[in-house]
Structure 1
Amino acid sequence: MPKSLKSSYQLYEEIGRGRFGTISRCFSPSSNDFYACKVIDKSLLTDSLDRDCLQNEAKFMTLLSPHPNIVQVFDVFEDDESLSIVMELCEPVTLYDAIVQNPVCETRAAAYMKQLLTAIAHCHRNGVVHRDVKPENVFLDSRNRVKLGDFGSADWSGEERSTSGIVGTPYYVAPEVVMGREYNEKVDVWSAGVVLYTMLAGIPPFYGETAAEVFEAVLRGNLRFPTRIFRSVSPAAKDLLRKMICRDVSRRLSAEQALRHPWILNGGETASMD
């Protein structure tokens, strides 16, 4: 007899809510551990794109598990009414929460960014582009380790394949996405660069009163480092930002290249740019 969610796990309180369902804490008697269970209500999926996102999230997270910096999936259950994904239980704290409290110092920002880029590089090696890298999708576990989650917008990518479609969050989306062009996995590097800028500055580099205004600012791609905010930020950090938030995709670093940048290698300490 195939196992079901209810026969394998005990569901407890709700710890999160999304467009298509809820996330609850759950317990497995067989492993004696707690997990998070995302239950997606299929009746809320109104079009084929929503249904694709539903299937992709479980598929991509299973493919990429286990990895120390990606939320791990342990079980997937599906019936006519719902899809349930049992995954690692992270603290209810995201990188967004950390940024809201205070701009993040360079050493801590470098530690977070190294882990995030490691997760993104793992995705890209497996032919997956996340397409919605933002602080709200970067979880911090009880040991303050980065865990990239929410693969509902992910798609296949790679050397012989590009993808298309305007997905993502306005502040973090790459200009080639906004322009409606085909694009590759480097959209994730742009988004990670915007995350890094936001960690160091406390504000995103491109903003506006509406999504349309934000998109216009992204398309202009005028990357500024206001003296008042960036006075104490190192030249090495600004150099990495310029190379990640780079409009020219051919010149934009890959995730692997960004991991080899002196600022990352030196842990955010003052790095020589020779």
Structure 2
Amino acid sequence: MCEALKSQYQLCEEIGRGRFGTIFRCFHPISTDTFAVKLIDKSLLADSTDRHCLENEPKYMSLLSPHPNILQIFDVFEDDDVLSMVIELCQPLTLLDRIVAANGTSIPEVEAAGLMKQLLEAVAHCHRLGVAHRDVKPDNVLFGGGGDLKLADFGSAEWFGDGRRMSGVVGTPYYVAPEVLMGREYGEKVDVWSCGVILYIMLSGTPPFYGDSAAEIFEAVIRGNLRFPSRIFRNVSPAAKDLLRKMICRDPSNRISAEQALRHPWFLSAGDTVNVT
């Protein structure tokens, strides 16, 4: 552990563990504030892609902070062996945990609207500053102490702010946009597609494109045949389905932006939704 980190923060119990490192709760004795610290073991970074992700995360988190819906970074310490990031302390459960807890059923439309509005606020902030997240998924959506949504994990983020196009297959099955899988250059709207998939899952309890393997899921994503089975979507409002069609649009030139999605009437009407037969 970095000596500079130990001189400023007191490490407490382990609260999480990932492929490259461990997360601890930590305490700042002078301010008496509590944080989380992510310790990344550099020896576990097997290739240049892993090292690139290591460099990306603190860089982009620092650029994007502070924002109420983006995980805030406070300090970075680095030595030859470990990179340490002091970040805000969040609740232990992610959006994925909330979806799993629903056990294949939908999240109420009013609640889904509140969550998606916060996620789109985070994504729109990233895009305004020229950053695409490129791996928006429920696992990377945390919740702060007050219950507010926090977009996290910027290891796959990329800069597009000077008009450059992005490339490379980055993302996660179920959530990755078709233009990424097709090997084309792409823009920031890949994040809007991912948000649309999350919204579809919240409203239905099932992903829009699925298969028995990653290859089958990718094939379904590329086909992009978006459906709303009446058995599952009978109680979902027409406005929600309209927004989904515009976010999960196979042609990125016709896909709405995060800013446009935030202006969709569904966010105004979701509190007054009625059952649709």
Helix, strand or coil: the match of 1:4? helix
Distance 1:217 1:159 in 2: 32
Q: Which residue of 1 aligns with 2:221?
A: 218
Aligned to 1:61: 61
Q: Are 1:115 and 2:124 counterparts?
A: no
Cross-structure match for 1:25: 25
Code of the aligned partner of 1:260: R
TM-score if structure 2 supplies the norm length?
0.95
How far apart, CA to CA, are the structure 1 residues paired with 2:249 and 2:174? 15
1:125 aligns with 2:132: no
Does residue 10 (structure 1) correspond to residue 10 (structure 2)? The answer is yes
Write the letter of the residue equivalent to 1:100. Answer: V
Is the CA contact (8 Å cut-off) linking 1:71 and 1:149 kept in structure 2? yes
- CA distance in structure 1 between the aligned counterparts of 2:131 and 2:162, rounded to whole angstroms: 11
Q: Secondary structure at the match of 2:75?
A: strand
Count of residues in correspondence between the two structures: 270
Deviations 1:58-82 (A, max 9, x none): 0000110110000000000011001
Secondary structure of 2:74's match? strand
| 1:35 corresponding residue in structure 2 | 35
Separation of aligned partners in 1, 2:203 and 2:170: 25
The answer to whether the 8 Å contact 1:73/1:86 transfers is yes
Deviation at 1:159, TM superposition (A): 5.9
Moved more, 8-17 or 179-188: 8-17
Structure 2: distance between partners of 1:159 and 1:228: 45
* In 1: Cα distance, 2:185 partner to 2:154 partner: 20
Instruction: Report how far residue 133 of structure 1 moved.
Output: 0.4
SS at match of 2:26: strand
In the alignment, structure 1 segments of 5+ residues that lack a partner are: none
Q: 1: CA distance between counterparts of 2:145 and 2:96?
A: 16
Cα shift readout 1:21-46 (whole Å, capped 9, x = no counterpart): 11111111121011111111111111
Q: Which amino acid aligns with 1:137?
A: N
Please give the residue correspondences for 1:53-202 in structure 2 after superposition, counting only pairs within 5 Å: 53-102=53-102, 103-158=106-161, 160-202=163-205
* 1:192-217 Cα shifts (integer Å, max 9, x gaps): 00000011111111111111010001
Which amino acid is 1:4 matched to?
A: A
Contact 2:89 2:145 (C-alpha < 8 Å) held by counterparts: no
2:230 is equivalent to residue 266 of structure 1 = no
Contact 1:158 1:185 survives alignment (8 Å): no
SS at match of 1:100: helix
Distance 1:159 1:270 in 2: 41
Letter in 1 for 2:239: A
Residue 22 of structure 2: SS of its match in structure 1?
Answer: strand
Work out whether residues 132 and 159 of structure 2, in 8 Å CA contact, stay in contact via their aligned partners in 1. yes
Secondary structure in 2 matching 1:172: coil
2:258 corresponds in structure 1 to 255
Query: 2:75, 2:175 → 1: CA distance?
Result: 30
Q: Distance in 2 between matches of 1:256 and 1:159?
A: 19
Q: Is the CA contact 2:21–2:39 (under 8 Å) kept in the aligned structure 1?
A: yes
Supply the RMSD in Å over aligned alpha carbons.
1.4
Query: Cα distance, 1:125 vs. partner?
Result: 0.6
Deviation track 1:126-175 (CA, whole Å, cap 9, x = no partner) reads 11000010011011223221100011111101361111111111110000
Gaps in structure 2 of 5+ consecutive residues: none
User: How does the TM-score come out when normalised to structure 1?
Assistant: 0.96
Displacement of 1:49 in angstroms is 1.1
How far the C-alpha of 1:268 sits from its partner, in A, is 4.8
Which deviates more, 127-136 or 9-18? Answer: 9-18
Which of 203, 216, 220 is residue 206 of structure 2 equivalent to?
203
Q: Distance in 2 between matches of 1:258 and 1:127?
A: 18
Supply the AA of the counterpart residue of 1:166. V
What is the CA–CA distance in structure 2 between the aligned matches of 1:187 and 1:154, rounded to whole Å?
A: 12
